[in-house]
């Protein structure tokens, strides 16, 4: 009986020893398992927190201007663009303008020569002389008919001949005027084979198409002229934003190479959608300066008014990998002591949160927060770049 009891005790001791061995082995394995690092979390000690001068705050609704970004070019309205032509063909004898030159209305742009001018002037002089004779004959016939000396038929014939010649003279006079030849000067006997081409309005010469000695055909363009006093901005706005555009809205723009911002007012919204899904918006420039020229590319902002929107200081938003983030204080760990008595200082744990950014103005940027974001969270207003830098360094070390 005692022997069986002794054997039972030995077996029980062996089993307990085996169980304890397994538990020790399991505890050791668990202790060596690494806890995965949270890629969106970063810690700062109290010393680090104070050294970077970190500041916390809340997201606030701020009154920011709402706008749409657009691009386009400086243009001149069609009514302010002129193609200078000659109503008659001829060889260019003089060219008095160059591209970029400002000329006033009535300035002689070019002089052309054509023998046909001589024939027109000769016909005008002869017809004008005959009309003078027929006028006198008509007056004489009227007197004769009045005194019953001549038949009324003679008066009618004289009237018809005079009217016919008057019409011919009027036609020739109009042809001379179209050719920019003064009929009064021709009537005095001043005949020339040359005629001037005048500028029909003031403006800058944008293109010259001919030169001395070249033949210019009838109605062929000699030069282009642009009156830049009424220039406009044409920008392209995506169709999704076109409903927000209204006449009278302000467009702030800068032309390429121009550091000064200029103002224009929307006066026309296009009704045609281009293949890139944009619509033309035209605006009149308020103060036209000489350093902006037709065709210049512009970057523009169309002001839509102001609105209350969640916003943060620019320094609170950091960019990484093409995205924008803010940091919020997730929790703090107060001072504590290790088992060996070593004192651990206070720890601040921050979490990185992705946001969408909007309008930036006066040092603030509008943000769109993720769903279920707690707006009472403390946001890092100053020190966000330091947190991002530490987070990046931790990732590189791993």
Mean pLDDT of the chain: 84
- Mean pLDDT, residues 343-362: 86
And the tokens for 297?
């590319």
And the tokens for 241?
């934003």
In the predicted structure, residue 398 carries a pLDDT above the cut 80: no
In the predicted structure, residue 25 carries a pLDDT above the cut 70: no
> Which structural domains are found in the chain, ordered by start?
41-62+309-397 (2.40.420.20), 67-79+227-307 (2.40.30.170), 87-113+193-226 (2.40.50.100), 115-192 (1.10.287)
Answer whether 0.75 is exceeded by the pTM. Answer: no
Per-residue model confidence (pLDDT) at position 26: 38
Judged by phi (left if over 0) then psi (alpha if -120 to 50, else beta), residue 44 lies in beta
pLDDT in tens, 76-124: 888 888 999 988 889 999 999 999 899 999 999 999 999 988 999 899 8
For the chain, percent of residues with pLDDT exceeding 70: 87
Q: How confident is the model at residue 170 (pLDDT cuts 50, 70, 90)?
A: very high
Q: How confident is the model at residue 6 (pLDDT cuts 50, 70, 90)?
A: low
pLDDT in tens, 116-155: 889 998 998 888 889 888 888 888 888 887 777 767 788 8
In the predicted structure, residue 255 carries a pLDDT above the cut 50: yes
Per-residue model confidence (pLDDT) at position 22: 46
HSE, side-chain direction, 13 A CA sphere, residue 58: 7
Helix 152-178 / helix 116-146 crossing angle, nearest 10 deg:
160
CA distances to 49, 216, 316 from 212, rounded to whole Å, are: 79, 10, 67
- Mean pLDDT, residues 191-199: 91
pLDDT in tens, 284-306: 998 877 778 888 899 998 988 77
Across 11-15, 181-185, 225-229, 286-290, least confident range: 11-15
pLDDT in tens, 203-234: 889 899 999 999 999 889 999 998 888 889 99
Per-residue model confidence (pLDDT) at position 11: 47
- Mean pLDDT, residues 27-51: 66
Per-residue model confidence (pLDDT) at position 385: 93
Q: Could you give the residue ranges of the DSSP H alpha helices within the chain?
A: 2-32, 46-51, 116-146, 152-178, 183-187, 384-397
Cα distance between residue 42 and residue 38, in whole Å: 8
Per-residue model confidence (pLDDT) at position 358: 83
């Amino acid at each position: 009986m005692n022997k069986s009891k002794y054997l039972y005790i030995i077996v029980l001791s062996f089993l307990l020893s085996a169980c304890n061995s397994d538990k020790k082995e399991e505890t050791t394995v668990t202790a060596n398992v690494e806890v995965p690092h949270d890629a969106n979390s970063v810690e700062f000690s109290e010393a680090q927190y104070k050294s970077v001068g970190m500041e916390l705050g809340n997201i606030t609704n701020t009154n920011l201007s709402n706008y749409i970004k657009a691009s386009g070019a400086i243009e001149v309205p069609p009514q302010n663009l002129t193609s200078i032509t000659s109503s008659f063909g001829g060889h260019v004898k003089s060219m008095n303008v160059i591209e970029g030159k400002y000329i006033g209305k009535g300035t002689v742009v070019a002089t052309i020569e054509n023998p046909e001018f001589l024939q027109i002037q000769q016909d005008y002089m002869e017809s004008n002389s005959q009309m003078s004779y027929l006028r006198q004959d008509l007056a004489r016939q009227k007197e004769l008919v009045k005194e019953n000396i001549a038949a009324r038929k003679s008066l009618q014939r004289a009237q018809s001949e005079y009217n016919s010649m008057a019409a011919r003279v009027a036609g020739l006079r109009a042809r001379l005027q179209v050719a920019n030849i003064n009929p009064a000067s021709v009537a005095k006997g001043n005949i020339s084979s040359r005629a001037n081409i005048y500028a029909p309005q003031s403006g800058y010469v944008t293109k010259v198409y001919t030169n001395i000695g070249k033949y210019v055909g009838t109605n062929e363009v000699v030069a282009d002229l642009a009156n830049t006093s009424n220039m406009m901005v044409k920008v392209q706005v995506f169709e999704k934003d076109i409903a927000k555009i209204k006449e009278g809205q302000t467009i702030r723009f800068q032309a390429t190479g121009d550091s000064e911002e200029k103002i224009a007012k929307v006066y026309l919204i296009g009704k045609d959608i281009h293949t890139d899904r944009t619509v033309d918006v035209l605006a009149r420039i308020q103060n036209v300066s000489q350093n902006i020229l037709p065709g210049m590319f512009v970057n523009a902002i169309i002001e839509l008014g102001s609105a209350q929107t969640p916003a943060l200081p620019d320094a609170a938003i950091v960019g990484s990998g093409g995205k924008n983030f803010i940091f919020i204080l997730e929790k703090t760990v107060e001072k504590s002591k290790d088992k060996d008595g070593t004192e651990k200082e206070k720890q601040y744990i921050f979490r990185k949160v992705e946001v969408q950014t909007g309008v930036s103005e006066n040092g603030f940027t509008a943000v769109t927060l993720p769903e279920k974001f707690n707006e009472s969270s403390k946001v890092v207003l100053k020190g966000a770049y330091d947190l991002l830098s530490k987070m990046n360094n931790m990732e590189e070390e791993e």
